[in-house]
Amino acid sequence: MAIDGSFKLESAVERFLSRCPSLTHQSPFDTIIKKGYGVTEEEVSSLLAELFLNPNYSVCLLGCFLPLAQKIVDRVIGLLRLVPNLRSNSMYLEIHEKELDGVVNIISFYDHRGRGIDLHELACLAFCRALDLAPFLLRTILDYFKFAPCPFHRIVVKGTTSEVYDKGGLLAVRLSYRLLLVEPETFTQLWDWSCFLDFMKQLPNIDLDHAKFLLLPDIRWCGIQILSILLKLGYEATTNLLSGSEETLACLLRWEEFCQDVSMEKAGSYAELFVKESVSQGMKTDFDSENCLLANSSFCGPAILWNRDEIERPIRSQRLATW
């Protein structure tokens, strides 16, 4: 949907499939394409509900179908309510990002593989993105947490064991922090966050292999940001808990990259509106995409905790993090 509010269902379907060509030949979308202007909002919402949870498509989906966001989220929460287990993984088969390309029925894909908590964390990620793009969905998303566990349930279950200091653990703390930033008062009161105190105390004493050790700075950084919100720590107290300035900067940049998904979608909406208005008014479109990103980015982060004069900012990776 354009930021000016114009929305045509058929055009939105075409735009979405042009941005996600791997879905074009999937049978459900093939049926929608053949229907053309006869397609209904109910049909599209039903088709997109599970796909909304696929991290490879959720942001693009919301950007193209924002007027249907309420129907899509309502439907996906209804489907998640039927999943028998969202609190643990019964199988030790890790699912990689590339395996999700073209997967429409994401709930059955994870449920059949016994990856309940992984599915729950994908839902939390999709809801984080949805709240950033459509804050009016908060009440609906809170309905999900009436039957589902907190986003840091992995930490609650595994405690301070080394098992939690992996990619799943990093995603759990990032999701928790992202939700806190969106609605700090709501989510602070919704769950018992006391496990983070033990979790952070144990970090220096954990014996990890090399792969997990590389994730430790980001887990620690997010954990400190979470505690700073929960305990209402000031700037100086939070700074004292952080590691060296270079490591802090690197963690912050990786956090920005984690949140950059929605920022890019918002910037694209503004760019589209700018071009449409310029064309309609017969103006030359001298559009600076970098300025649009700076002006409209939704930076999901704390106050910058370093001295800009002391550190040379490293080159940021151009790859957008989808997870």
pLDDT digits (tens, 9 = 90+) for 235-284: 788 878 887 788 889 999 999 999 998 888 888 766 666 555 665 566 55
Task: Please give the mean pLDDT across all residues of the chain.
Answer: 82
Same domain, 182 and 126: no
Residue 310 has pLDDT above 60, yes or no: no
Query: Same domain, yes or no, for 260 and 236?
Result: no
Domain count within the chain: 3
222 & 255 share domain: no
- For residues 23 and 131, membership in a common domain is answered with yes
- Nearest alpha-carbon partner for 250 in 279, 276, 216: 216
Same domain assignment for residues 281 and 227: no
Residue with tokens 């007027």: 67
Own/partner pairs, 211-215, CB within 8 angstroms, 24+ separation: 212/162, 212/165, 212/166, 215/165, 215/166, 215/167, 215/169, 215/170
Q: Domain range for residue 284?
A: 251-323
Tell me, yes or no, whether 158 lies in a domain. no
Looking at the domain assignment, is residue 207 inside a domain? yes
Give the pLDDT score at 263. Answer: 82
Tokens 């074009």 sit at which residue? 24
Calpha distance 298→266 (Å, rounded) = 8
Alpha-carbon torsion 233, 137, 23, 261, what sign?
negative
Evaluate whether residue 186 is within a structural domain. Answer: yes
The secondary structure element, H or E, covering residue 110 is helix 106-111
**Of 149, 175, 207, the domain-final residue:** 149
Amino acid at 323: W
In-domain check, residue 157? no
Do 275 and 222 sit in the same domain of this protein?
no
Asked whether residue 268 falls in the same domain as residue 137, the answer is: no
Q: Does 42 lie in the same domain as 120?
A: yes
Task: Indicate whether 25 belongs to any domain.
Answer: yes
Look at residue 295 in the predicted model and tell me its pLDDT. Answer: 42
13/68 same-domain check? yes
* Domain identity same for 288 and 312: yes
Last residue in a domain, options 242, 270, 297: 242
CA 90 – CA 236 distance, rounded (Å): 43
Q: Where is the domain boundary, 242, 264, 299?
A: 242
**For residue 156, is it within any domain?**
no
DSSP assignment letter at 105: -
> Whole-prediction pTM value?
0.82
In a domain, 68, yes or no: yes
The pLDDT tens digits of the residues spanning 189-235 come to 999 999 998 888 877 666 666 667 788 899 999 999 999 999 998 87
**Is residue 38 over pLDDT 60?**
yes
- Assigned token pair, 236: 């100086």
Q: 44 with 188, same domain?
A: no
278 in the same domain as 142: no
Q: Which burial class, exposed, middle or buried, applies to 32 when counting CB atoms under 10 A from its CB (0-12, 13-18, 19+)?
A: buried
